[in-house]
Structure 1
Amino acid sequence: MGRRSTSSTKSGKFMNPTDQARKEARKRELKKNKKQRMMVRAAVLKMKDPRQIIRDMEKLDEMEFNPVQQPLLNEKVLRDKRKKLRETFERIVRLYERENPETYKELRKLELDYETKRGQLSLYFDSVKVCWKLHDRGQWQKQHSTATAPMGVANPSQMGAVSQPNMKTKDQVYEAFMREMEGLL
């Protein structure tokens, strides 16, 4: 928005003195409203707890990276919620960067810890999924190996096939997962 004289219109014609006064009053009002909006936004951000935002993001991660149970929310919904929480956290961090550098450093450290935990959780989730895929593939091979066994050999282990290791149940995997998560917190 460019600055324009309050004594003329857009086309350059001279304005009535009452219109000039009205235009100047509106300009002052808009400036005051803008300042108030900025103050309200800053106050709202100061009221929000950044640690609670991090905890909310951790809950979303636990829902998304739970190897036993499918997330209750759609993947897109989880992504949007995380994006919104992250944006709010970033706004709070920028506010504290200007006003309180000590708190800013603390929040950046908190964010770094969260990202580390999230990376570990994601890695654990991926490894459990790979393990389950291998386990499922092993079960499929075990079921179909007797059908394709050569004549006279009823047991595939007699052919020299390696027996499958004892795999944990989903409940055991979930319990181990939750113990691991408690250890990270």
Structure 2
Amino acid sequence: MNEVQPIRNIKHINAIKKALHGRDQLLFIFGINSGLRISDILKIKVGDVRDKDSIVVQETKTSKPKRFVFNHSIKNAVSEIVPATADDNEYLFKSRKGDNKPISRVAAWRILNDAADRAGVADKIGALGTHSLRKSFGYHAYKNGTDITLLQSIFNHSSQKDTLRYIGINQDMIDEVYVNINL
């Protein structure tokens, strides 16, 4: 199995966003802006986000509570995409199969990969998976100046080295050294 990568190029992120609509676009926007694992995102219900500024989720992997504030991208997507008629008890990423069940991790993976294909960026971004959303959040936060120790805390990593490897920064830094040395 290939290790998935963050989506490093903002143009690729925007192309994927444009290739998605409705619930699927909200999934992408929510994932790339929250840094949450897909297993935690899929549990969220409409009432958890409607007219809210933040949310506390119980992380599936760590069993720890995690609070995060919704940025403008998430708030705008929720207000534009979630129907006013949606019940607060409905899953935000409701499956079209059966009664009020969230989509599966596999369905989320398909949504992302199909969108990358439609956007024409699948071959440019490397291995893409649902974890790419979380890694992309970390990658872009780091590139925008977020301290690595803060990202380490956000991701619950035990070392900065793990966080840098996780978000793909180590290899980027190494590649940059080679590109910039022209003797």
TM-score interval (norm. to shorter): under 0.3
TM-score (norm 2): 0.25
Structure-1-length-normalised TM-score: 0.25
Greater relative CO, 1 or 2 (CA 8 Å, sep 6+)? 2
Structure with higher strand content? 2
